[in-house]
Each structure stands twice: as C-alpha cells, then as structure tokens.
Structure 1
C-alpha cells in the first residue's frame, strides 16, 4: 500500500496542463464576428507575405514620387513657336535671370 502513495497521481497533473493558456488573444474566447473583423489579431505572421507587402508598398510610393517629379519637370516647359512657324519646347525663364 505504501507503493501506491509514492506514485504521482496522473489525474491531478492533467488539469494543470489545461490551465496553461496561450498568451495573447488566441487564448481568449471571442465571437466569430470579432475574429472575422479583426483577423490580424489571430493569424500568425507570415514573413513571405510581409516581405511581398513591404516591397509592393515601397514600389507604389516610389512610382508616385516619380510621377510627382515628372510633373514638376513638365511645369517648367512650354511649347513655343518661332518666327518661321516651327514648334519646340522651351523652358520658362524669369525676367530676372
């Protein structure tokens, strides 16, 4: 009988494992509507998707910057006609230059 008291009780150890909860919002009970509206709180980060998103966002910002710079360069040019009637592009100049 003394041998039975020396063995650890397996039933008493099992609830301790169930008490261990996942940190963060994954362990919290929420509704499926909350999970559908806020998926970024429950999905583990995916590095390849993050890299693709970062590269695509950077390219979009660079393209917008390029369009802005190209438009700024066009503002300084206008179409001029000389005395012979030929058209050409000329840079705007100030009378002070």
Structure 2
C-alpha cells in the first residue's frame, strides 16, 4: 500500500540573528516623516550628552531656587534713612511686636 505523503508541518526555526540587530522601533518600517518628528525613538542613547544635559538642567533648577530664596530674604528688608541722612537696610517690623 502506498504510503500517504506526510502532512507539511511548520518547523520551529530559531529566529534569525538579523531580527535582533534592531530592537524596538528601530527595526520597524516607518515613514521618514515619523522618524523626523520622533527622533528620540530611533537614536541610540549617548551617555556623555545625557550627563551634560542632566548636569545643566540640575544647575538651572538650583539657580532658580537660589533666586527664589534671595528674593524671599529681600522681601522683609527695606531701605531706611536715619536722622543724619544715612541709609541702611532694615527688617520690616510690626507695630504689634
């Protein structure tokens, strides 16, 4: 009796190495417009640039905090003039104190 041909089955082949070369969205086919609008999805991370940006942003936030603290300290001071005509800085006081 002739043997029936074996049914074709899909063999589980290991994924090709080229599939792992572009992980994430870098391996997906997209339009040039999408890549131009979203470059952070396709550019490899650059540690020196990230470190520079983090330090710069931290210094900017610290400077704004310093300016805020300096303004708060100046808020309670005003320039007073004594009877001899000399001006000096004096803290505001309440008549109730």
> TM range, normalised to the smaller chain?
0.7 to 0.9
Q: TM-score, normalised by structure 1?
A: 0.76
Counting matched residue pairs gives: 82
Structure with the bigger percentage of helix: 1
- Secondary structure of 2:43's aligned partner: coil
- Secondary structure of 2:80's aligned partner: strand
- Structure 1 residues 80 and 24 mapped into 2: Cα distance closer, same or farther (>3 Å)? same
How far residue 35 of structure 1 moved from its aligned partner, in angstroms, is 0.5
Q: List, as ranges, runs of 4+ consecutive aligned residues in structure 1 with deviation greater than 3 Å.
A: 16-19
How far residue 20 of structure 1 moved from its aligned partner, in angstroms, is 2.6
The answer for unaligned runs of 5 or more in structure 2 is 1-14
The answer for unaligned runs of 5 or more in structure 1 is 1-15
- Secondary structure of 1:43's aligned partner: coil
